[in-house]
């Protein structure tokens, strides 16, 4: 599993896990060689400028980007940029004959790991977690507190498609569900002594029925959390056989910004 990451590759991989990046704040999809805005990020610069879901980005900085072969990476490279810089967009909107011009100021765009949480019924809560980033523990904590304030007695915790992230965040999330002293995970290496991570007291949902949803794309930190719940008989695991990573990786940064994982 060892690999080398160039400085650019390392930067991209870390960006989403750090909980934010600089850009214009749109979710997009390329449909028939056209950049289509699926949804502007709530509170982001695009929604402030007036860009709407369904808008088609035809020009970026006066260069036509529609009707050409364009990849997601190309679009992200053009739309992302240093906070405070501007990007000029020519937008085709349904019902408007001419292109509409928007000048959008790039800002820091927060990224979230809790995609959604809410009540399924009067006593059942639901949390969907997409990754384990630097902000995951706080996001899950906030979600649990909100759901408990709505009289949640049982919880569905959805880890389907969650490819993992930071080990420390996986440990903190699992700690919300397990009582004092339960073993969550241990690490041990060829030149590294065994290190146990055990649950502390004061988790927000140490009692109450818990179901964890998993699938074949649930990996790494997702497997640590679901495995800890299963081994401690804390939750029922529902879904498909997970990815099967079975190890924890560390990264060594090199002077030029690249890394060895």
> Mind giving me the DSSP string for 163-206?
--B-HHHHHHHHHTTS-TT-EEEEEEETTEEEEEEE--S--TTS
Residue 179: exposed, middle, or buried by beta-carbon count in 10 A (0-12, 13-18, 19+)? middle
Active site residue 146: no
Structure tokens at 205: 């949902």
Of 231, 233, 252, 258, which one is the catalytic site residue? Answer: 231
Radius of gyration of the chain (CA): 21
Q: Is 158 a catalytic residue?
A: no
Tell me, yes or no, if 130 is annotated catalytic. Answer: no
Alpha-carbon dihedral angle through residues 19, 156, 154, 149, given to the nearest 10 degrees: 30
Contact by Cβ (8 Å): 22, 108 = yes
SS3 110: strand
Strands 124-129 and 86-92 come out as unpaired
Catalytic residue from among 12, 123, 153, 245: 245
- Which of 218, 220, 222, 226 is catalytic? The answer is 220
Instruction: List active site positions.
Output: 220, 231, 245
């Amino acid at each position: 599993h060892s690999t080398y990451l160039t400085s650019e590759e390392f930067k991209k991989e870390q960006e989403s896990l750090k909980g934010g990046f600089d850009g214009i704040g749109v979710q997009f999809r390329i449909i028939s060689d056209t950049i289509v805005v699926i949804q502007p990020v709530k509170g982001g610069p695009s929604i402030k400028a007036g860009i709407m879901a369904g808008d088609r980005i035809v020009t970026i900085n006066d260069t036509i980007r529609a009707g050409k072969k364009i990849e997601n990476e190309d679009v992200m490279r053009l739309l992302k940029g240093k906070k405070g810089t501007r990007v000029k967009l020519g937008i085709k909107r349904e019902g408007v004959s001419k292109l509409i011009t928007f000048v959008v100021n790039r800002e820091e765009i927060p990224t979230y790991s809790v995609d959604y949480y809410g009540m399924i019924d009067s006593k059942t809560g639901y949390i969907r977690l997409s990754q384990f980033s630097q902000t995951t523990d706080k996001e899950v904590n906030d979600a649990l507190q909100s759901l408990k304030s709505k009289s949640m007695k049982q919880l569905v915790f959805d880890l389907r498609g969650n490819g993992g992230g930071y080990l420390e965040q996986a440990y903190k999330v699992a700690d919300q569900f397990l009582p004092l002293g339960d073993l969550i995970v241990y690490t041990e290496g060829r030149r590294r002594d065994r290190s146990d991570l055990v649950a502390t007291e004061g988790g927000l949902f140490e009692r109450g029925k818990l179901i964890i949803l998993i699938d074949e794309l649930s990996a790494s930190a997702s497997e640590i959390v679901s495995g800890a719940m299963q081994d401690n008989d804390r939750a029922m695991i529902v879904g498909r056989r997970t990815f099967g990573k079975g190890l924890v990786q560390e990264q060594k940064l090199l002077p030029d910004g690249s890394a060895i994982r």
